[in-house]
Amino acid sequence: MGEIGAKALFLVQCASVSVNFNRPNRIIIFLAFVALLGLGLWLRLRFIHTVQLYPDEFVTLLAVKMIGQKGLPVMPSGLFYDHGLLFSYVGSLTAWLGPIRWLARYASLLFGLLTLGLIFWLGRRWFSPAVGLIALTGLTIAPAAIEWSSRARMYALLQLLVLATLWLAYEGIVQNKAKLRWAALMTYLGATLTHFVAVTLAPPLVLAGIAVWWRERRRGEEAKTREVVSPPRLLASSPHLLTEAAALILILAIAFLVKRAGQPKGIEALDASGALPGLGQVFSIYSSLSFNPVDGWQAIAPFYLTLPALIFAPFALIALITSLINSFTASSPPRLLASSSALFLSLILLTTTLEMILFVSPDRRDDKYLFMLLPVLLLLGAQGMAMIGGQGSGVGGQQLAVKPLSSIYYLLSTIFPLLVSGLILMATQPAVRALLTNTGDDYDSAFAYVQAHWQDGDTILTGTPAAAAFYLGRNDFYAVQRRGGYDYRLLTVNGRAVDRWLGSPAIRTEAELSETLSKHKVWLVLERWGLQREYYDLPFQQQLLAQTRYESETQGIFILRSQAKPQPLALDPANPVEANFDNQVRLMGYTVEPLQPAPGESLRLTLYWQALAPLPYEYTVFVHLRQADGGTVAQADHRPLDNLYPTPLWPVGETIRESSQLALPAALPPGSYELWVGLYRLETGERLPVQQDSSGENAVRLGQVALGEEIGD
């Protein structure tokens, strides 16, 4: 037969063995793919039907509703809502099928499932079946992927469009097909209209594209040197490339103009004459050169340091380094092409991360904005794992190293991805359980309570106007007073600050708050985190609590009502006091209102506290009104600010103003009575010791109260 014939026969026999052993391998991998897809579907459906809507989802749902009414996402405030523009239109297309609450979430679910399929296909196409399966496992179980492909927000669509853009751009370069590159430009346009953060991909795409073009050019030169019959087609310079570059610039200009139309940070509305300056405004808002990379890294680090990304990140680094080394040392065409896709993905991930750290404005650095590149991290990490496990691959799943075709090898090639996938699932399972058990703030029950008790003339005040609009069809007042982080929620309309979605008047000062609560019957629906930590400075918060009454609490949300005759608090005590409770709490003074109460009236006592150290327990305040002989005639025990702002939340050094109402018996004779106050733990009854206590009972004598006639202390 000759030497050539013998070699040909040997290759045919090897191919036959390969097919025999590859078929069960492929069947197992396919079954694992189906199982993971089913798991991903189940986890996301469970999230959709057990986890509450959160504030931003209400805004998206409002935008979807406005598109249905007006054809554009123009909010009742007049704002053009650009955020998630493409997703809002997708949601409006499904609105006729049923409640938008569910259908908008199902749209995210669909995009999430498509991304699962695409990451498996790309991993298998660019690397190996093992890489595809491992990357799919990571995206299936990633808590962030479960959440964002289950919420009525744009992030799942963004991730799908970004991954499609990378796929089409890479294939368009290595295959030198203009139609693929144009398809990549179209998906990139969709990504920028889905979320503005996609504009950060433009420099990495250009850089990675140039790097891959250089790799392909080098490969073509090597193919010619070795007289290969069909060397790779080179990406030649042509007018088409200039057109594509112009299209990319146009896409970025469109993205900037759409973002400017959305009035970021509440800047004035865009008009035709201000289009070009508007681009500069957006650039200045979203970009900032940072000379402190540590702070930038800390802002985005959770993307890399939460499971399962934490597992993949070190192996992604291995794949990155290997691809760089192969750029200069690889000589065989399969190795060169295999590392080309890894180099492309590595440059995308690395450059975008550096952009976030060094060039994005501090208030826009957020690990969730890197979510669009989670599939890239997982693909690189899976490739790094496969390389270490001897499953590193080239184009179409071909092995980088020549290995003997044996049943043992193919058995290992099947076991390896299944074993790694199983370990990833087990390691990430606690985080997934925590995600699904945290059902979020219960807006459904909170607004159902308000609806059930609503009366004519009632009004609603919230920090989440879109939620009130979703349930009640209205929001009358917006109260997020703390300046800084929430100013972006405001617009100025006719010289008045309003919320950017409904146009509700913004309550920004204590005087505006008191006026609103005194003139209107107001329901207040406020998230626990907003009321306790985020929305208000302490004086404003305490004025709000003093002029409202507690109605109910659902999971994570407080429901309050304005009092019939609200009385603002005095910011400073009328009567100074100096009392130290075990070096934990200091009592600085008190105010009594009215000064001369009559029997049968209610006496309001405002106490001014200051935490000297973090308070470990929820303390209860006791207030006694005593006769001269020590007998108690009236008593009020209460937890200061109740569970709305319990003592463990008190910041050290800040003044806490809180009131108690002391009902005076109608039969109480006029005269002089003494006020006593102290702190104790309700669970044990143990009083907090008073330093230099002279009463013998760990209580502080405040002073005298005159009933019926004025009597001095």
Matching residue, tokens 């937890």: 639
The 3-state DSSP composition of the chain as helix, strand, coil percent (nearest 5) reads 55, 15, 25
Give per-residue pLDDT as tens, 61-104. Answer: 999 999 999 999 999 999 999 999 999 999 999 888 889 999 99
Confidence of residue 21 (pLDDT cuts 50, 70, 90): very low
Mean pLDDT for the stretch of residues 35-58: 97
SS3 label, residue 572 = coil
Give per-residue pLDDT as tens, 130-156. Answer: 999 999 999 999 999 999 999 999 999
List C-alpha distances in Å: 669 to 102, 206, 675: 64, 87, 16
List C-alpha distances in Å: 191 to 163, 197, 202, 364: 10, 9, 11, 18
Tokens of 694: 């002279």
Rounded to whole angstroms, the Cα distance separating 326 from 318 reads: 12
Neighbours of 101 (CB within 10 A): 17
Confidence of residue 225 (pLDDT cuts 50, 70, 90): low
Residues in the chain: 713
Mean pLDDT of the chain: 88
Q: What is the pLDDT of residue 2?
A: 47
Q: What is the pLDDT of residue 478?
A: 97
More confident residue, 273 or 20: 273
Q: Would you say residue 7 has pLDDT above 50? A: no
State phi, psi for 626 to the nearest 5 degrees: -120, 155
Confidence of residue 324 (pLDDT cuts 50, 70, 90): confident
Q: What is the pLDDT of residue 597?
A: 87
Give per-residue pLDDT as tens, 626-646. Answer: 988 888 999 999 999 888 999
List C-alpha distances in Å: 357 to 27, 296, 548: 43, 4, 44
Rounded to whole angstroms, the Cα distance separating 258 from 279 reads: 10
Concatenate the DSSP letters of all residues of 377-422 into one string: HHHHHHHHHHHHTT--B-GGG-BSS-----HHHHHHHHHHHHHHHH
Q: What is the pLDDT of residue 265?
A: 86
Q: What is the pLDDT of residue 273?
A: 53
Q: What is the pLDDT of residue 711?
A: 40
* Cβ atoms of 104 and 148 closer than 8 Å: no
Confidence of residue 305 (pLDDT cuts 50, 70, 90): very high
Which residue(s) pair with 205 in the sheet? Answer: none
Rounded to whole angstroms, the Cα distance separating 16 from 575 reads: 96
Rounded to whole angstroms, the Cα distance separating 480 from 461 reads: 10
Rounded to whole angstroms, the Cα distance separating 377 from 396 reads: 20
DSSP state of 328: H
Tell me the pTM: 0.89
List C-alpha distances in Å: 571 to 98, 539, 662: 52, 7, 20
Q: Would you say residue 218 has pLDDT above 50? A: yes
More confident residue, 654 or 230: 654
Tokens of 322: 């290997």
Neighbours of 45 (CB within 10 A): 14
Confidence of residue 47 (pLDDT cuts 50, 70, 90): very high
Q: Indicate the range of 333-337, 474-478, 555-559, 687-691 predicted with least confidence.
A: 333-337
Mean pLDDT for the stretch of residues 602-619: 94
Mean pLDDT for the stretch of residues 505-509: 95
Q: Indicate the range of 19-33, 550-564, 574-588 predicted with least confidence.
A: 19-33
Concatenate the DSSP letters of all residues of 49-94 into one string: HHSPP-HHHHHHHHHHHHHHHHSS-B-TTS-B--TTHHHHHHHHHH
Q: Indicate the range of 95-99, 292-296, 405-409, 510-514 predicted with least confidence.
A: 405-409
Give per-residue pLDDT as tens, 393-451. Answer: 543 344 444 344 445 555 566 788 999 999 999 999 999 999 999 999 999 999 999 99
